[in-house]
Chain A
Protein backbone atom coordinates (compact mmCIF):
# COMPACT_ATOMS: atom_id res chain seq x y z
CA UNK A 1 0.00 0.00 0.00
CA UNK A 2 0.91 3.71 -0.10
CA UNK A 3 2.31 3.76 3.44
CA UNK A 4 4.66 0.86 2.71
CA UNK A 5 5.77 2.45 -0.55
CA UNK A 6 6.44 5.71 1.30
CA UNK A 7 8.60 3.98 3.89
CA UNK A 8 10.41 2.14 1.11
CA UNK A 9 11.27 5.55 -0.39
CA UNK A 10 12.31 6.92 3.00
CA UNK A 11 14.63 3.93 3.52
CA UNK A 12 16.04 4.48 0.03
CA UNK A 13 16.65 8.18 0.76
CA UNK A 14 18.52 7.10 3.89
CA UNK A 15 20.77 4.75 1.93
CA UNK A 16 19.19 1.49 3.12
CA UNK A 17 18.26 0.04 -0.26
CA UNK A 18 21.66 -1.43 -1.07
Chain B
Protein backbone atom coordinates (compact mmCIF):
# COMPACT_ATOMS: atom_id res chain seq x y z
CA UNK B 1 0.00 0.00 0.00
CA UNK B 2 2.95 2.32 0.59
CA UNK B 3 3.50 2.36 -3.19
CA UNK B 4 -0.05 3.54 -3.71
CA UNK B 5 0.34 6.44 -1.26
CA UNK B 6 3.64 7.51 -2.85
CA UNK B 7 2.02 7.24 -6.29
CA UNK B 8 -0.96 9.39 -5.28
CA UNK B 9 1.30 12.07 -3.74
CA UNK B 10 3.58 12.13 -6.80
CA UNK B 11 0.65 12.31 -9.23
CA UNK B 12 -1.02 15.16 -7.31
CA UNK B 13 2.26 17.12 -7.20
CA UNK B 14 3.07 16.64 -10.89
CA UNK B 15 -0.51 17.34 -12.03
CA UNK B 16 -0.66 20.58 -10.01
CA UNK B 17 2.81 21.65 -11.18
CA UNK B 18 2.03 20.83 -14.83
CA UNK B 19 -1.41 22.44 -15.06
CA UNK B 20 -0.38 25.52 -13.06
CA UNK B 21 2.57 26.02 -15.43
CA UNK B 22 0.84 25.24 -18.71
CA UNK B 23 -2.74 26.42 -18.29
CA UNK B 24 -2.89 29.06 -15.54
CA UNK B 25 -0.90 31.75 -17.51
CA UNK B 26 0.20 33.02 -14.08
CA UNK B 27 3.75 31.74 -14.00
CA UNK B 28 5.28 28.35 -13.32
CA UNK B 29 4.70 25.73 -10.64
CA UNK B 30 7.13 25.45 -7.74
CA UNK B 31 9.08 22.43 -9.00
CA UNK B 32 9.12 23.69 -12.60
CA UNK B 33 10.51 27.02 -11.32
CA UNK B 34 13.15 25.25 -9.23
CA UNK B 35 14.28 23.08 -12.16
CA UNK B 36 14.39 26.06 -14.56
CA UNK B 37 16.25 28.29 -12.12
CA UNK B 38 18.73 25.55 -11.17
CA UNK B 39 19.64 24.73 -14.77
CA UNK B 40 19.87 28.43 -15.72
CA UNK B 41 22.24 29.01 -12.78
CA UNK B 42 24.46 26.13 -13.96
CA UNK B 43 24.66 27.66 -17.42
CA UNK B 44 25.37 31.15 -16.05
CA UNK B 45 28.13 29.68 -13.89
CA UNK B 46 29.64 27.86 -16.90
CA UNK B 47 29.43 31.13 -18.83
CA UNK B 48 31.62 32.85 -16.24
CA UNK B 49 34.35 30.25 -16.99
CA UNK B 50 33.95 30.44 -20.79
CA UNK B 51 35.52 32.83 -23.28
CA UNK B 52 32.28 33.60 -25.15
CA UNK B 53 28.56 33.15 -24.56
CA UNK B 54 28.10 30.09 -26.83
CA UNK B 55 27.26 27.81 -23.89
CA UNK B 56 24.25 29.98 -22.98
CA UNK B 57 22.63 29.06 -26.29
CA UNK B 58 21.77 25.64 -24.84
CA UNK B 59 20.18 26.86 -21.61
CA UNK B 60 16.59 27.08 -22.92
CA UNK B 61 16.77 23.71 -24.69
CA UNK B 62 18.21 22.03 -21.59
CA UNK B 63 15.42 23.46 -19.41
CA UNK B 64 12.68 22.34 -21.83
CA UNK B 65 14.12 18.81 -22.02
CA UNK B 66 14.42 18.66 -18.22
CA UNK B 67 10.80 19.81 -17.81
CA UNK B 68 9.52 17.21 -20.29
CA UNK B 69 11.49 14.54 -18.38
CA UNK B 70 10.03 15.76 -15.06
CA UNK B 71 6.39 15.96 -16.21
CA UNK B 72 6.26 12.73 -18.22
CA UNK B 73 8.74 10.88 -15.99
CA UNK B 74 6.77 11.65 -12.82
CA UNK B 75 3.51 10.62 -14.49
CA UNK B 76 5.10 7.36 -15.67
CA UNK B 77 6.63 6.58 -12.26
CA UNK B 78 3.35 7.51 -10.52
CA UNK B 79 1.40 5.09 -12.72
CA UNK B 80 4.07 2.41 -12.31
CA UNK B 81 4.03 2.71 -8.49
CA UNK B 82 0.25 2.46 -8.40
CA UNK B 83 0.48 -0.78 -10.45
CA UNK B 84 3.11 -2.09 -8.01
CA UNK B 85 0.64 -1.71 -5.15
CA UNK B 86 -1.41 -4.66 -6.51
CA UNK B 87 0.32 -7.93 -7.48
CA UNK B 88 -2.37 -8.77 -10.07
CA UNK B 89 -2.84 -5.27 -11.45
CA UNK B 90 -1.33 -6.33 -14.79
CA UNK B 91 -1.69 -9.79 -16.34
CA UNK B 92 0.17 -11.38 -19.22
CA UNK B 93 -2.47 -11.70 -21.99
CA UNK B 94 -1.22 -15.04 -23.33
CA UNK B 95 -0.29 -16.94 -20.13
CA UNK B 96 -2.85 -15.24 -17.80
CA UNK B 97 -0.22 -14.86 -15.06
CA UNK B 98 0.65 -11.76 -13.06
CA UNK B 99 3.19 -9.57 -14.87
CA UNK B 100 6.62 -9.09 -13.20
CA UNK B 101 7.84 -5.64 -12.08
CA UNK B 102 9.74 -4.80 -15.27
CA UNK B 103 6.70 -5.66 -17.40
CA UNK B 104 4.54 -3.41 -15.22
CA UNK B 105 7.00 -0.60 -15.93
CA UNK B 106 6.78 -1.39 -19.66
CA UNK B 107 2.98 -1.57 -19.51
CA UNK B 108 2.67 1.79 -17.71
CA UNK B 109 4.94 3.53 -20.26
CA UNK B 110 3.17 1.87 -23.17
CA UNK B 111 -0.24 2.98 -21.87
CA UNK B 112 0.83 6.58 -21.16
CA UNK B 113 2.20 6.98 -24.67
CA UNK B 114 -1.25 5.79 -25.89
CA UNK B 115 0.36 3.06 -27.98
CA UNK B 116 -1.92 0.31 -26.58
CA UNK B 117 -1.39 -2.27 -23.85
CA UNK B 118 1.60 -4.17 -25.29
CA UNK B 119 0.52 -7.84 -24.84
CA UNK B 120 -0.58 -7.19 -21.25
CA UNK B 121 -4.05 -6.59 -19.86
CA UNK B 122 -5.32 -4.93 -16.67
CA UNK B 123 -6.02 -7.51 -13.94
CA UNK B 124 -9.48 -6.31 -12.84
CA UNK B 125 -12.31 -3.97 -13.83
CA UNK B 126 -10.91 -1.31 -11.48
CA UNK B 127 -7.51 -1.44 -13.14
CA UNK B 128 -9.16 -1.30 -16.57
CA UNK B 129 -10.72 2.04 -15.61
CA UNK B 130 -7.44 3.23 -14.07
CA UNK B 131 -5.60 2.28 -17.25
CA UNK B 132 -8.04 4.29 -19.36
CA UNK B 133 -7.62 7.29 -17.02
CA UNK B 134 -3.83 7.10 -17.24
CA UNK B 135 -3.94 6.69 -21.00
CA UNK B 136 -5.99 9.89 -21.24
CA UNK B 137 -3.62 11.62 -18.80
CA UNK B 138 -0.62 10.73 -20.96
CA UNK B 139 -2.41 12.02 -24.04
CA UNK B 140 -3.39 15.28 -22.31
CA UNK B 141 0.11 15.83 -20.85
CA UNK B 142 1.84 15.30 -24.19
CA UNK B 143 -0.50 17.43 -26.33
CA UNK B 144 -0.89 20.28 -23.80
CA UNK B 145 2.86 20.27 -23.09
CA UNK B 146 3.68 20.58 -26.79
CA UNK B 147 1.21 23.46 -27.19
CA UNK B 148 2.87 25.19 -24.23
CA UNK B 149 6.30 24.80 -25.79
CA UNK B 150 5.10 26.39 -29.04
CA UNK B 151 3.83 29.39 -27.04
CA UNK B 152 7.20 29.60 -25.28
CA UNK B 153 9.13 29.65 -28.58
CA UNK B 154 6.82 32.41 -29.84
CA UNK B 155 7.56 34.42 -26.65
CA UNK B 156 11.30 33.86 -27.11
CA UNK B 157 11.10 35.10 -30.71
CA UNK B 158 9.27 38.21 -29.50
CA UNK B 159 11.96 38.80 -26.88
CA UNK B 160 14.66 38.72 -29.57
CA UNK B 161 12.62 40.94 -31.92
CA UNK B 162 12.25 43.50 -29.14
CA UNK B 163 15.99 43.46 -28.44
CA UNK B 164 16.75 43.87 -32.15
CA UNK B 165 14.16 46.66 -32.49
CA UNK B 166 15.78 48.63 -29.65
CA UNK B 167 19.28 47.98 -31.02
CA UNK B 168 18.16 49.30 -34.43
CA UNK B 169 16.59 52.42 -32.87
CA UNK B 170 19.77 53.26 -30.98
CA UNK B 171 22.03 52.66 -33.98
CA UNK B 172 22.76 56.38 -34.38
CA UNK B 173 25.65 58.31 -32.87
CA UNK B 174 23.97 61.47 -31.64
CA UNK B 175 22.10 61.26 -28.31
CA UNK B 176 19.41 63.70 -29.53
CA UNK B 177 18.75 61.55 -32.62
CA UNK B 178 18.41 58.49 -30.40
CA UNK B 179 15.77 60.23 -28.28
CA UNK B 180 13.92 61.36 -31.41
CA UNK B 181 13.97 57.80 -32.77
CA UNK B 182 12.51 56.53 -29.48
CA UNK B 183 9.82 59.24 -29.53
CA UNK B 184 8.86 58.41 -33.14
CA UNK B 185 8.52 54.72 -32.28
CA UNK B 186 7.23 55.23 -28.73
CA UNK B 187 3.84 53.52 -29.21
CA UNK B 188 5.24 50.44 -30.90
CA UNK B 189 8.06 50.17 -28.39
CA UNK B 190 5.62 50.42 -25.47
CA UNK B 191 3.39 47.73 -26.98
CA UNK B 192 6.34 45.42 -27.50
CA UNK B 193 7.64 45.92 -23.94
CA UNK B 194 4.14 45.33 -22.54
CA UNK B 195 3.75 42.15 -24.58
CA UNK B 196 7.14 40.91 -23.39
CA UNK B 197 6.14 41.76 -19.83
CA UNK B 198 2.98 39.64 -20.16
CA UNK B 199 4.96 36.83 -21.78
CA UNK B 200 7.30 36.95 -18.80
CA UNK B 201 4.39 36.51 -16.42
CA UNK B 202 2.76 33.73 -18.45
CA UNK B 203 5.92 31.84 -19.45
CA UNK B 204 8.70 32.63 -16.92
CA UNK B 205 10.94 30.13 -18.71
CA UNK B 206 11.40 32.76 -21.44
CA UNK B 207 13.83 34.55 -19.09
CA UNK B 208 16.29 31.65 -19.39
CA UNK B 209 16.59 31.72 -23.18
CA UNK B 210 19.80 33.66 -23.71
CA UNK B 211 21.19 35.18 -26.90
CA UNK B 212 24.85 34.87 -27.73
CA UNK B 213 25.25 38.32 -29.31
CA UNK B 214 24.49 41.67 -27.73
CA UNK B 215 22.17 42.89 -30.52
CA UNK B 216 19.56 40.22 -29.85
CA UNK B 217 20.04 40.18 -26.05
CA UNK B 218 17.24 42.05 -24.35
CA UNK B 219 18.89 42.99 -21.04
CA UNK B 220 21.71 45.24 -22.39
CA UNK B 221 19.39 46.89 -24.92
CA UNK B 222 16.71 47.57 -22.31
CA UNK B 223 19.31 48.98 -19.92
CA UNK B 224 20.53 51.32 -22.67
CA UNK B 225 17.08 52.60 -23.61
CA UNK B 226 16.10 53.01 -19.96
CA UNK B 227 19.12 55.22 -19.33
CA UNK B 228 18.18 57.26 -22.40
CA UNK B 229 14.61 57.60 -21.12
CA UNK B 230 15.68 58.67 -17.63
CA UNK B 231 18.06 61.32 -19.05
CA UNK B 232 15.47 62.61 -21.54
CA UNK B 233 12.77 62.89 -18.87
CA UNK B 234 15.19 64.76 -16.59
CA UNK B 235 15.60 67.28 -19.43
CA UNK B 236 11.79 67.44 -19.96
CA UNK B 237 11.95 66.14 -23.54
CA UNK B 238 8.47 65.25 -24.90
CA UNK B 239 7.22 63.80 -21.62
CA UNK B 240 3.80 63.04 -23.20
CA UNK B 241 5.38 60.29 -25.26
CA UNK B 242 8.18 59.26 -22.93
CA UNK B 243 6.20 59.03 -19.67
CA UNK B 244 3.94 56.16 -20.87
CA UNK B 245 7.06 54.38 -22.11
CA UNK B 246 8.74 54.95 -18.75
CA UNK B 247 5.64 53.57 -17.03
CA UNK B 248 5.71 50.49 -19.25
CA UNK B 249 9.38 49.99 -18.38
CA UNK B 250 8.50 50.28 -14.68
CA UNK B 251 5.92 47.49 -15.05
CA UNK B 252 8.54 45.29 -16.65
CA UNK B 253 11.03 46.05 -13.86
CA UNK B 254 8.35 45.25 -11.29
CA UNK B 255 7.72 41.83 -12.92
CA UNK B 256 11.39 40.97 -13.18
CA UNK B 257 12.19 42.26 -9.70
CA UNK B 258 9.61 40.01 -8.07
CA UNK B 259 10.58 36.86 -9.93
CA UNK B 260 14.09 36.78 -11.32
CA UNK B 261 16.44 39.27 -9.69
Q: Report which A residues bind B (CB closer than 8 A).
A: 3, 6-7, 9-18
Nearest CB in chain B to that of A11: its residue: B219
A15 touches B53 (CB 8 A): yes
Q: Which B residues lie within 8 Å of A13 (CB)?
A: 44, 207, 219, 260-261
Interface presence of B210 (CB below 8 A): yes
Interface presence of B135 (CB below 8 A): no
Main secondary structure of the interface of A (DSSP, over half): helix
Interface presence of B95 (CB below 8 A): no
Q: Report which B residues bind A (CB closer than 8 A).
A: 43-44, 47-48, 53, 56, 207, 210, 217-220, 222-223, 226, 230, 253, 256-257, 260-261
Taking the closest CB of chain A, its distance from the CB of B117, in whole angstroms, is: 47
A3 touches B47 (CB 8 A): no
Total of A-B residue pairs, C-beta within 8 Å:
44
A6 touches B253 (CB 8 A): yes
Partner of A15, one of B56, B222, B230, B260: B56
17 A-B contacts (beta carbon < 8 Å):
A3-B230, A6-B257, A7-B219, A7-B223, A10-B260, A11-B219, A11-B220, A11-B223, A13-B219, A14-B210, A14-B217, A14-B218, A15-B44, A15-B56, A15-B210, A16-B219, A18-B47
Q: Which B residues lie within 8 Å of A10 (CB)?
A: 219, 222-223, 256, 260-261
